[in-house]
């Protein structure tokens, strides 16, 4: 359903909070803005409390059908979802449970893997726990033997489902304002001519000749270098991450 630009929806959770002229103006402004500007506006809306939450609920409500069918990451929707997720508001919690119970990223899986717990951790910005769970999900993709050893062979990565890798990547992208994800790491890798030493430095996995120590020396928030997360066990060599960044999922 596409809603009129000059009114809020009839959803009772949203309309019960605010239909003020100020809220309508804010809604129209964010809907007309390019994505980069939307990200800044969402941060400002969070500071407004209930009126800002109402605008973000309507902003998400209008996109809900498109979000569930699109294969393209929507960074603004991800940030709006996170603001509402951490808001200490029963109305926001009811809205998300009613309309976005599984989040704003379609959790597609060819291997029938449940990515709901990962989406929740990323929405909470618990990047360290999400990183650990991402490895577990990748081991699950690789099969029972990989789950037992808790790491992955490069030959197993080559067999990964395109759909599942894209889902994992979209979750990281959408909940990091586009800063983290395998596709981001691939973009940086390609930009440095597939030079691993330059890649490690750019994404903060190595400082000079010294590897970044896990977990205390990694940065588990959005102040980290672009591409810093999710991690791969580079100490086992580059064949696994090379297979990951060369996977058909990114073509």
- Contact yes or no for 84/17 (Cβ under 8 A): no
Tokens of 146: 């990989």
Instruction: Tell me, yes or no, whether 83 lies in a domain.
Output: yes
Instruction: Tell me, yes or no, whether 52 lies in a domain.
Output: yes
Please determine, for residue 2, whether its predicted confidence score (pLDDT) is greater than 50.
no
Instruction: Return the pLDDT at 11.
Output: 62
Instruction: Tell me, yes or no, whether 22 lies in a domain.
Output: yes
Please determine, for residue 201, whether its predicted confidence score (pLDDT) is greater than 80.
yes
Instruction: Specify whether 182 is located in the same domain as 79.
Output: no
Task: Say how many domains are in the chain.
Answer: 2
The reported pTM is: 0.90
Q: Which of 159, 124, 152, 121 lies closest to 136, judged by CA?
A: 152
Tokens of 39: 């990200």
Instruction: Tell me, yes or no, whether 115 lies in a domain.
Output: no
Backbone angles phi, psi at 96, to 5 degrees: -65, -40
Instruction: Measure the CA–CA gap between 156 and 148, rounded to whole angstroms.
Output: 14
Reported as a single tens digit per residue, the pLDDT across 134-153 is: 999 999 999 999 999 988 99
Tokens of 46: 């969070």
Instruction: Tell me, yes or no, whether 4 lies in a domain.
Output: no
Reported as a single tens digit per residue, the pLDDT across 207-237 is: 999 999 999 999 999 999 999 999 987 656 7
Domain that holds residue 140: 123-250
């Amino acid at each position: 359903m596409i809603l009129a630009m000059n009114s809020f929806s009839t959803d009772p959770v949203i309309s019960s909070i605010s239909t003020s002229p100020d809220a309508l103006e804010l809604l129209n402004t964010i809907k007309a803005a390019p994505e980069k500007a939307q990200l800044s506006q969402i941060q400002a809306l969070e500071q407004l409390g209930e009126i800002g939450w109402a605008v973000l609920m309507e902003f998400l409500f209008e996109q809900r059908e498109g979000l569930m069918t699109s294969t393209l990451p929507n960074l603004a929707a991800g940030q709006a979802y996170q603001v509402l997720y951490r808001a200490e508001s029963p109305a926001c919690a009811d809205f998300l449970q009613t309309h976005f119970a599984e989040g704003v990223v379609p959790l597609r899986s060819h291997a029938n893997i449940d990515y709901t717990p990962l989406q929740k951790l990323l929405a909470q910005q618990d990047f360290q726990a999400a990183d650990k769970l991402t490895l577990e999900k990748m081991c699950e993709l690789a099969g029972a033997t990989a789950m037992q050893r808790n790491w992955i062979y490069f030959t197993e990565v080559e067999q990964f489902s395109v759909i599942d890798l894209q889902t994992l990547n979209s979750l990281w992208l959408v909940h990091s304002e586009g800063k983290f994800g395998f596709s981001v790491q691939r973009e940086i890798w390609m930009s440095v001519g597939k030079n691993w030493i330059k890649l490690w430095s750019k994404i903060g996995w190595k400082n000079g000749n010294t590897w970044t120590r896990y977990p205390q020396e990694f940065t588990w928030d959005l102040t980290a270098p672009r591409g810093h997360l999710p991690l791969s066990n580079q100490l086992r060599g580059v064949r696994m991450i090379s297979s990951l960044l060369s996977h058909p999922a990114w073509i």
